[in-house]
Amino acid sequence: MQEQVKYAVDDIVINFSSNELWIINIVIAIIMFGVALDITKEDFDRLFKHPKILFVGVFSQFIALPFVTYLFVSWINPIPSIALGLILIGACPGGNISNFLSKLAGGNAALSVSLTAFATLMSVVMTPINLEFYGNLYEPTRTILNAVELDPKALFKLVMLILGIPLILGMLVRAKYPKSALNVSKKLKPFSIIVFIIMLLGALNQNWELFMGEIHHVFGLVIAHNLIAIALGFMLAWAFKLSMKDRKTISIETGIQNGGLGLLLIFQFFIIPGNEYKYGGMALLAAFWGVWDIFSGLGIAYLYSKFLPSKE
C-alpha cells in the first residue's frame, strides 16, 4: 500500500455526534418519502415519452458531472481528502430541494419531480460506481479508498436505505391513497426540508469557530465546483435544444447536489474512530457544500426567474 501523507486539515474534528447522524439519516429518508408522495406512474411515462430529456438529465448528472469533477480535481490538485470529497459530491444525486428551486426558477416542475425520482433510483447504483471508479482513477484518492477498505455493497445498502426504499414506499402510498398522499405531502415535504436546514445551520453554529478558521481550505473549491455543475447542466440542455424551462430544471438538478447524503456517507465510511488519517477535509467540504447549496440554489433560481423568462 502506498504511504499516505498526513495533512493538518484532516485532523479537524467536526462537532457532530452519532445521534445527530442518525437524525440526518431519518430526515433525509423522510424528505425523500415526501418527494415520492408527489410522484406517479405518469411521471415516469412522461419521461419515457420524451427520451431526449431523460437522456440529457441522466447523462448530465451521472456521466458528465462525475467526469468533469474528475478533470477539475486533476487540474486543481487539492489535498487527497478534499479531492475525494469533491468526487463524492459529484457522484451524489440532485438535492431534495431541487423541485422547489425549479418551480421558483420558472422551470419545468413536472420534469424536476420526474427526474428526481428516476435519478434517485439510479443513484442507488451509480453513486457507488462513480465514487469507486473516479476515486480509484485519481491516484491520491485511491490510497484513501484502499486505506478505509470501502465496501461497495455496504455503500449500496446505505444509499438504498436512505433514498431507494423511501422513494418506493412513497410511490406505493401515492398509488394506493392518492388524495391522502397529496395532503400529507403538502405538510410533510416543507416541514422536513425546514428541519433539515435547521439541523445544518445548527451544526454550523456548533462548529462556527472551526468553520471560520478552516473554511479557506474549501471555500473557493465548493463555489467553483457548484458553478461548474450548474453551468454544465444548462449548457448540455442548450446543446440538445431543450426548452428554456427544461434547461433551467436540468441545470438545477445537476448543480444542486445532495450534500446531506454526501456528509452522511463520509461519517459512515471515512470518519473512523482511532484511524490515524481522519479525513476531516472530506467532512469540512461536504458540510460547507450542504450550507452553500441552499444559498446558491436560491440565488440561481432568482436569477433564472428574473433574467431567463420561460416563454413556453
Residues 33-58 pLDDT 10s: 888 888 887 877 877 888 899 899 99
Non-local CB neighbours of 57 within 8 Å, separated by 6+ positions: 111, 115, 118, 119, 250, 253
- C-alpha cell recorded at residue 125: 447504483
Res 2 pLDDT > 70: no
Residue 312 counted as domain residue: no
Answer yes or no: are the C-beta atoms of 105 and 304 closer than 8 Å: yes
Non-local CB neighbours of 6 within 8 Å, separated by 6+ positions: 276, 277
Query: What's the pTM value of the predicted model, to 2 decimals?
Result: 0.88
Answer yes or no: are the C-beta atoms of 111 and 251 closer than 8 Å: no
- The SS3 call for residue 94 is strand
HSE at residue 182, side-chain half, CA atoms within 13 A, is 4
- Residue pLDDT, tens place only, 128-178: 999 999 999 999 999 888 888 777 788 888 888 888 898 889 999 999 999
Number of domains in the chain: 1
Residue 1 counted as domain residue: no
Residue 119 counted as domain residue: yes
Res 274 pLDDT > 60: no
Average pLDDT, stretch 200-224?
A: 81
Residue 3 counted as domain residue: no
- The SS3 call for residue 257 is strand
CATH of the domain at 58: 1.20.1530.20
Please give the residue range of the domain that contains residue 103: 8-307
Residue 38 counted as domain residue: yes
**Amino acid of residue 162:** I
Residue 237 counted as domain residue: yes
- DSSP assigned state of 311: -
Residue 2 counted as domain residue: no
Query: Which pLDDT score is estimated for 3?
Result: 57
Residue 69 counted as domain residue: yes
Q: Pick the closest to residue 287 from 75, 121, 81 (CA basis).
A: 81
Higher pLDDT pick, 258 / 61 = 61
